Amino acid sequence: MASEIIGTINIEHYQLGHDIERLRSIRKQPEEYDEFGQGHWKNISLYNATGEADDTRYKNARRCLPTEHLRQCPAIAKLIQEQFEPTALRMVRARSLVDGLVIPHRDFVELDTAVTYYRVFLALEDNAQAFHSDEQGVFQMRAGEVWYLDAGISHAAINFGLNSRTFLCLDFIYEQRFEPADIFKDRRSAHVQRHDIHIKRVPLQPLKEREIIAATATLIECFTFKDIVFALSKYHFIYDLPVASCYDWIISAAEQANNAPVLEKAKTLRRYLIEHRAMGERYALSDWTCQAGVAR
């Protein structure tokens, strides 16, 4: 299903400025999926399965423990505790993306399908240059809006500017039927103030699309592959294209270039990010050696 606003919270009541500055000051640490982000992309664990501040990996666990980072952000801790029902909550992260991009992907493809993974975003600040996307379109989250983000379908995020874009990402698990309002302690928070959420994008003519693929075919090599993935991933934020169209373009370009190693790399990338991956499986965009333009 498409991402949507499921409620609003008066975040001005919590005076979050000091805590947001504290989150900005925390040094970024290496993460499992860093290679699929570009620019400054930071995830800070506030609640997780272990209570360890450096544990950023989502786990299907029963526990949801506060970390040291949460203890240093008392206003955010108060907001979470007062606004969200903790029974089904499994993880909370503060996410920041500055001058960066998270390429199209799907989450939860390797997890248990017998339960419902319900991911919610709460925007803590506005940023006119920051966007999210999914299979239904491109949209912006405004401060105080609570969004359901369907991470089980292809989605991406971008910040074209240098200003901060801080959100809370809350992961819930439900084993029975539930309503979106169930995540809130006060169900009156499940009040939606706007419905026209998608950004109008420019049509891309078929000729222009073919020209992009042809131009990519002249450039695509193992040593340009990663740069091309990030460059083409940006097009759908501006043009009216499917969120994961970049992977089809790259495959078509590799076919035109008759570059078998790059073609195989492109197909496995699409498979890993949006089709299927095994539990614990990892993928590296730069996991090959290049000599004279040949992947080995």
DSSP collapsed to 3 states, 124-189: CCCCCCEEEEECCEEECCCCCEEEECCCCCCEEEEECCCCCCEEEEEEEEECCCCCHHHHECCHHH
User: Would the pLDDT of 278 be above 70?
Assistant: no
Q: How many CB atoms sit inside 10 A of residue 199's CB?
A: 13
47 phi, psi to nearest 5 deg: -130, 140
User: Same structural domain for residues 178 and 221?
Assistant: no
Residue closest to 236 by CA, chosen among 212, 252, 264, 263: 212
CATH number at residue 287: 1.10.1720.10
User: Same structural domain for residues 184 and 247?
Assistant: no
Q: What is the mean pLDDT of residues 195-218?
A: 95
CATH number at residue 14: 2.60.120.330
User: Same structural domain for residues 265 and 131?
Assistant: no
Q: What is the pTM of this model?
A: 0.87
Q: Which residue has the higher pLDDT, 102 or 151?
A: 102
Separation of alpha carbons 296 and 293, rounded Å: 10
What is the tens place of the pLDDT at every residue in 245-262?
A: 999 999 999 999 999 999
User: Same structural domain for residues 47 and 94?
Assistant: yes
User: Would the pLDDT of 192 be above 90?
Assistant: no
What is the tens place of the pLDDT at every residue in 160-185?
A: 999 988 999 999 999 889 999 999 99
pLDDT value for 274: 83
Range of the domain at 232: 206-295
Q: How many domains does the chain have?
A: 2
Q: Residue 120: enclosing H or E segment and its boundaries?
A: strand 116-123
- 135, 159, 189 - which closes a domain: 189
pLDDT value for 21: 95
Domain membership flag for residue 162? yes
User: Would the pLDDT of 1 be above 70?
Assistant: no
Q: Which residue has the higher pLDDT, 60 or 263?
A: 263
pLDDT value for 280: 61
Task: Say how many residues make up the chain.
Answer: 296
State the burial class of residue 221 (Cβ atoms within 10 Å of its Cβ: 0-12, 13-18, 19+): middle
User: Would the pLDDT of 295 be above 50?
Assistant: no
pLDDT value for 67: 96
Separation of alpha carbons 52 and 54, rounded Å: 6
User: Same structural domain for residues 60 and 122?
Assistant: yes
pLDDT level of residue 102 (50, 70, 90 thresholds): very high
pLDDT value for 141: 94
Separation of alpha carbons 143 and 17, rounded Å: 13
Least confident of 27-41, 83-97, 116-130: 27-41
